[in-house]
Copies of this chain bind each other. A is one copy, B any other.
Amino acid sequence: MSTASPSPAKSAPEPKSPPGPGARRGRPGYDRDSLLEVAVGVFNERGYDGTGMEELARRLGISKSAIYHHVSGKDELLELAVNRALDALFAVLDEERARPGDATSRLERTVRRSVDVLAAELPYVTLLLRVRGNSDVEQRALDRRRDFDHRVAALVAEAAAEGGVRDDIDPGLISRLLFGTVNSLAEWYRPSGALPASAVSAALTAILFDGLRGPRRTGT
């Protein structure tokens, strides 16, 4: 169900140089995906509310009307960006729900694969995590995040019922702590750094899921 394009991880882009004089006749040097990529970088750097269409046009090196050739405005760019992140996260949840096997394994894979999504779609997830609900687009994004949280909490409850996750902590709280840890990666993880995303997701799931199984029978 993901409508996200399959393009690889992207760090916050540098301002592009203006498209060459060859870029004419309705093709202003960007397609919608590459325009979105630059716009999201600018939003993350300056804040969505603090970025005007003038500034966006300047950073893209094109005119405002060239931007309007692709999208109706800033709001549509935000909606495309946050839905790219959300679609990828919901795709993980849907795929893991459809798999056979125990809920605990499906929960663990959901968390691990959400880290992969965060790393692969970092600028889009970062923007999503900063949304505060200041417009209809932002409210819809928050609604989808809440829906995601509820579905993860239901999976945690299922895992607790089968004995794979400790039942002394509320599933909703476990779900918040799990995805709090995942989302906190956006604050410091950079795909261009020395640490591969797979090492981060392996460490994160090892600690959290060993901890979710409950205390060791032999004390420390």
Contact = CB atoms under 8 A, between A and B. Distances in A.
Interface of A: 47, 49-50, 104, 163-164, 166, 168-170, 173-174, 176-177, 180-181, 183-185, 187-188, 195, 199-200, 203-204, 206-218, 220
20 contacts: A47-B49, A49-B50, A50-B50, A166-B206, A173-B199, A177-B184, A177-B203, A177-B207, A180-B180, A180-B185, A181-B181, A183-B184, A183-B187, A207-B208, A207-B211, A208-B208, A210-B215, A211-B212, A214-B216, A217-B218
A28 to B, nearest CB: 30
Nearest to A169: B203
B173 A203 contact: yes
A208 B206 contact: no
* Copies per assembly: 2
A23 to B, nearest CB: 33
A218 B181 CA distance: 26
The main secondary structure of chain A at its interface with chain B is helix
Contacts of A174: 203, 207
Closest 5 CB pairs of A and B: A211-B211, A180-B184, A207-B211, A210-B211, A181-B181
Contacts of A47: 47, 49-50
Nearest to A49: B50
Contacts of A168: 206
Contacts of A209: 211
Given A50-B50, A203-B174, A210-B214, A220 B164 contact: yes
Contacts of A199: 173
Contact of A213 (B169, B204, B212, B220): B220
A206 B165 CA distance: 13
Contact of A210 (B50, B181, B210): B210
A212 B212 CA distance: 11
Contacts of A104: 220
A195 B209 CA distance: 23
